[in-house]
């Protein structure tokens, strides 16, 4: 290592490079960094001189990273995390900490989980700032790049699903919070309820009904749909909506059936005139998991957050209550 060369590098430029790689736009990067576009352009020129590479090419669609810039982009999250941890005290004291942590969570976990761990966290760590976002198809990438600290997502246990626990990207660690099963919701005065018996509530009747579906992580198919496709079946999905509350409301005001995790179904029944039915065939459970990047494994603040979430959820749910 050449210390003289390293001493000439402005480490702030590495932060700017990381944001530029993520945004691929001078305008968006400057806005995110709270600096002017002119100042950002000057920093980019300094980066190019320091690293002896153009780093980006301007195109009609924004900045296109060079091959060298892409290689640097793979290394930067770990490098910057190591530098950040150098500035942190060796221990984490929740009572005095003013650190900031960010979460991305699937919508079905907000009502069923977040109220139960946010309170204990802020009681113990009143000056900690917690930012939460909706989990999207980009959230896993945000975890890898260090833009968010934690994710809480539902992972399917179906072998053909794209969202399996054992298919997480490299570097992503997880802890299962609880497992859940799929159930069905229909409105209280649904025509089905008057004639329904356990003998009638079978797969053929389920498939004959019209369904409302929630689009998750950009996909219209859930593990259940892959499972049914393996059997040569397909649900008759009449309406697809972007969120669980919308689907529950549609279900309460129509003859559509809504299939969803039981933890959110119970919450929905408290808000809308809905009836809960078991799924009329055997189907594997799903897992709600806490996600983070392995680079944060030994960070004391991260460990405290993870332990608090896991302990809070363990008190809230037991296997007997869900499965």
pLDDT tens-digit map of 160-198: 554 555 677 888 999 999 989 999 999 999 988 876 766
**CATH number for domain 3-86, candidates 3.40.50.620, 1.10.10.10, 3.30.70.920, 1.10.540.10:** 1.10.10.10
pLDDT tens-digit map of 192-228: 887 676 668 899 999 999 999 998 877 788 889 988 9
Beta strand pairing call for 257-261 and 182-187: antiparallel
Region 14-24: what's the mean pLDDT?
Answer: 90
Least confident of 25-29, 73-77, 303-307: 73-77
pLDDT of 158 above 90: no
Region 135-157: what's the mean pLDDT?
Answer: 87
Domains of the chain, by residue range, sit at 3-86, 101-173+292-322, 182-284
- The answer to whether domain 101-173+292-322 and domain 182-284 are alike in fold is yes
Contact 191, 263 (CB under 8 A): no
Structural fold of domain 101-173+292-322: D-Maltodextrin-Binding Protein; domain 2 (3.40.190)
Structural fold of domain 182-284: D-Maltodextrin-Binding Protein; domain 2 (3.40.190)
* 146 Ramachandran zone, left/alpha/beta (phi>0; psi -120 to 50): left
Q: How confident is the model at residue 91 (pLDDT cuts 50, 70, 90)?
A: confident
Q: How confident is the model at residue 319 (pLDDT cuts 50, 70, 90)?
A: very low
Contact 212, 257 (CB under 8 A): yes
pTM of the model: 0.71
| C-alpha–C-alpha distance, residues 52 and 55, integer Å | 9
């Amino acid at each position: 290592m050449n210390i003289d060369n390293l001493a000439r590098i402005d480490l702030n430029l590495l932060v700017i490079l990381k944001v530029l790689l993520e945004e691929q736009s001078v305008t968006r990067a400057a806005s995110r960094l709270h600096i002017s576009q002119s100042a950002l352009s000057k920093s980019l020129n300094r980066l190019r001189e320091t690293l002896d590479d153009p780093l980006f090419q301007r195109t009609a669609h924004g900045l296109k990273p060079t091959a060298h810039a892409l290689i640097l982009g793979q290394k930067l999250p770990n490098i910057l995390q190591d530098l950040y941890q150098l500035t942190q005290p060796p221990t984490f004291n929740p009572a005095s900490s003013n650190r900031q942590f960010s979460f991305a969570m699937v919508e079905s976990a907000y009502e069923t989980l977040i109220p139960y761990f946010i309170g204990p966290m802020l009681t113990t760590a009143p000056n900690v700032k917690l930012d939460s976002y909706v989990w999207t198809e980009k959230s896993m990438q945000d975890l890898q790049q260090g833009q968010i600290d934690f994710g809480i997502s539902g992972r399917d246990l179906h072998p053909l699903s794209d969202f399996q626990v054992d298919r997480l990207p490299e570097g992503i660690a997880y802890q299962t919070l609880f497992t859940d099963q799929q159930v069905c919701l229909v409105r209280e005065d649904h025509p089905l309820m008057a004639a329904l018996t356990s003998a009638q509530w079978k797969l053929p009747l389920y498939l004959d009904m019209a369904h409302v579906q929630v689009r998750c992580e950009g996909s219209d198919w859930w593990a259940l749909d892959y499972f049914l496709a393996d059997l040569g079946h397909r649900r008759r999905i009449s309406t697809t909506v972007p969120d669980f509350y919308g689907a529950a409301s549609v279900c309460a005001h129509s003859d559509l059936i809504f299939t969803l995790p039981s933890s959110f179904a119970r919450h929905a029944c408290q808000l809308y005139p809905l009836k809960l039915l078991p799924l009329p065939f055997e189907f594997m459970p799903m897992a709600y998991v806490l996600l983070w990047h392995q680079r944060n494994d030994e960070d004391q603040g991260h460990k405290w957050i993870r332990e608090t979430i896991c302990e809070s959820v363990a008190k809230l749910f037991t296997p007997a209550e869900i499965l």
